[in-house]
Amino acid sequence: MLACEYPSVSLSLVHKVIAFYLENRVAVDGYIARCDDEIAQQRSLSPRGPSASELRRRMENMRRAATP
């Protein structure tokens, strides 16, 4: 299924990756958990952008300003 989803990846490489994960499950899961924690921390520190309704309001104001 993975080889079909990602045709540029050979079936033998898919097998190797699965084998690596099965042999190193604890380390890989720990790595993924640390990455997820880092991403969550970065998201919490980054400023929020405008909401969809705010963007719509801005676009409407721009349209009004552009029409004579």
User: What's the pLDDT at 4?
Assistant: 92
User: What's the pLDDT at 68?
Assistant: 77
DSSP 1-68: -HHHH-TTS-HHHHHHHHHHHHHSHHHHHHHHHHHHHHHHHHHHHSPP---HHHHHHHHHHHHHHH--
Provide the percentage of residues in the chain whose pLDDT is more than 90.
90
Per-residue pLDDT reduced to its tens digit, 44-55: 998 889 999 999
User: What's the pLDDT at 67?
Assistant: 85
Who has greater pLDDT, 28 or 1?
28
